[in-house]
Chain A
Amino acid sequence: MNYTLDFTPVIEGLPNLLWACLGTFTLAICGMLLAIAIGIGGVILRQSPFKPLRWLVIGFVELIRNTPFLVQIFFIYFALPLAGIRLDPTPTAIIALGINGGAYAIEIIRGGVQSISKGQREAGLALGLHEAQVFRLIILKPALRAIYPSLTSQFILLTLTTSIASAISAYELTSVSQRIESDSFRSFEVYFTVTAFYFVISWVMMRVFALFSSRYFSYPVR
């Protein structure tokens, strides 16, 4: 145990690491927004009276939830170019995160929608609103509130999953730290710092989620 801690490479690489944190935030936030869009859109299609659409959503959810994320991101990055779709690492990572998070979000949000009493929909319809208006104006917000804790923990998971985007060298914290580590061989110092950064990133995310909740879901319930 004659190891002497030396944080010099980490300190020298700090500007790079901080920029990389921003990259991680970018992947996380863009991935999340895409996941929400896919989640809500998927729930709408999942309720469609048109059976093939429902099956399509079920198939999508099952496919994504039963395959590894690393394989999904490789598929988009390495396999899609064969079909003429060539994307940079960062957009690839965002799309992969959005698709993966979206599949989970569909199931979570669907649970929320099902928890809303039938009477809410009926009251909306009886007032002359269309199904789409009923969903958007009446069902969606209470449904999101009901499942908000599950949805946010899924999104924290999504935030941490951004590290897998290092496998295609997207610009984010893990890939930048790997470079510093392989130049300096200071594994402990580098990953100690990176662990702390991820912890702070997650914590910031949770604060943002809590702040959003206190603003957006402030109405009282029994």
Chain B
Amino acid sequence: MNQTINSAMTTEPMISLSGVEKWYGAFKALDNINMSVAKGEKIVLCGPSGSGKSTLIRCINHLEAYQKGDIHVGGIMLGHGSKTIDAVRREVGMVFQQFNLFPHLTVLQNCMLAPMKALGLDKAQTEDRARQLLERVKISEQADKYPAQLSGGQQQRVAIARALCMRPKAMLFDEPTSALDPEMVKEVLDTMISLAEEGMTMICVTHEMGFARQVADRVIFMASGAIVEEAPPAEFFSNPQHERTRKFLGEILGRH
């Protein structure tokens, strides 16, 4: 199953899951998930809705508990105690479908909150860092506005900057463009592409297949809580091995 992992793979994976299983009551949401993500690798996770892809990345920072298996992030074994969970969360940034910016804080304060409160950095240092990152997602002139005053695309770019302010080793994207108006999708994808080019380790749940082709080292296809197929994008799109993958690609690419 791992034969497609290419030379990007170094010795120690940044993120690895082995035998991860999760149930909601009697419903098996994740079924024996094994995957390994090398430092700097970009993974696109796709699949029909309800296939478990969001659940999977939410297990990586323990927003969802799982019942079986092991997850390692940056050399830390994600246990079920709060200490390792906190350690992992400080190392992994997450971007949500609904942005989830804090409405009562300005853009700048949104970025500064966690570095100051979770990492204990001082204010001046944090503000420098936040302004740099807002510059980088091209939104520095909005630093003193509140989230409600920004467009969806701008909010999502702030959310990316906010996550980057923690200097994460890896980033998780949970359908970052699904809640956006079509004309704003590109600005967010461009931000993600530039982040990828700088070597960030990324796992992206997305249906943006153009992004997958351009950025992904591997595309992983999930269905019914299990990994069905994984391959580099060229191979994944031109020669899908499984019937379910073909059906999914037919539906999603047929639209465009």
Number of A-B residue pairs having CB atoms within 8 Å of each other in the complex: 72
A44 to chain B, nearest CB (A): 17
Query: Is B98 in contact with A128, judged by CB distance below 8 angstroms?
Result: no
For residues 137 through 164 of chain A, which have their beta carbon under 8 Å from a beta carbon of chain B?
137-138, 141-142, 145
Residues of chain A within 8 A (CB-CB) of B114 are: 124, 127-129
Query: Interface 1/0s, chain A 100-126, versus B by CB < 8 A?
Result: 000000000000000001011011111
Question: Which chain B residues in 81-116 approach chain A with CB under 8 Å?
Answer: 82, 86, 89-90, 92-94, 96, 98, 100-105, 113-114
Binds B, one of A14-22, A48-56, A214-222: A214-222
B103 partner residues in chain A, CB cutoff 8 A: 142, 219, 221
Contact A119 B104 (CB under 8 A): no
Q: Are B104 and A145 in contact (CB under 8 A)?
A: yes
Contact (A125, B96) CB under 8 Å given A141-B104, A219-B103, A220-B146: no
Point out the residues of chain A lying under 8 angstroms from B89, CB to CB.
Answer: 125-128
Contact (Cβ within 8 A) B148 A125: no
- Residues of A within 8 Å of B, CB-based: how many? 22
Given A123-B102, A128-B90, A145-B104, does the pair A220, B162 have CB atoms closer than 8 Å? no
- A119 and B117 form a contact (CB under 8 A): no
A133 located at the interface, meaning its Cβ lies under 8 Å from any Cβ of chain B in the complex: yes
Contact A122 B96 (CB under 8 A): yes
Q: Is A207 engaged at the interface, CB distance under 8 Å to the other chain?
A: no
Cα–Cα distance between A126 and B98 once the two chains are bound (Å):
14
B217 to chain A, nearest CB (A): 24
Question: Which residues on the B side are within 8 Å of A124 (C-beta)?
Answer: 102, 114
Q: Among B94, B96, B148, which residue has its beta carbon within 8 angstroms of that of A220?
A: B148
Nearest B residue to A138, CB-CB: B102
A126 to B61, CA, bound (A): 7
Say yes or no: is B38 at the interface (Cβ < 8 Å to chain A). Answer: no
CA of A137 to CA of B113, assembled, Å: 9
Q: A137-B113, A221-B148, A222-B148 are in contact. Are A127 and B163 (CB under 8 A)?
A: yes
Measured between beta carbons, the chain A residues less than 8 angstroms from B98 are 117, 119
Task: Assess the A142–B104 pair: CB atoms within 8 A.
Answer: yes
Residues in A neighbouring B105, C-beta threshold 8 A: 219
Does A86 interact with chain B (Cβ within 8 Å)? no
Question: Would B86 and A219 count as touching, CB distance under 8 A?
Answer: no
Q: Is the CB of B96 within 8 A of A119?
A: yes
Residues of B within 8 A of A133 (CB): 117-118
Most A CB within 10 A of own CB, among B63, B82, B101, B103: B103
Interface: B119 (CB within 8 A): yes
**Which residues of chain B have a CB within 8 Å of any CB of chain A?**
61, 63, 82, 86, 89-90, 92-94, 96, 98, 100-105, 113-114, 117-119, 146, 148-149, 159, 162-163, 166
B-contacting residues of A (Cβ < 8 Å)?
Answer: 117, 119-120, 122-130, 133, 137-138, 141-142, 145, 219-222
Question: 5 closest Cβ contacts across the A-B interface?
Answer: A127-B114, A123-B100, A128-B118, A128-B90, A119-B100
Return 5 A-B CB contacts under 8 Å, by A number: A123-B94, A124-B102, A129-B117, A130-B82, A219-B103
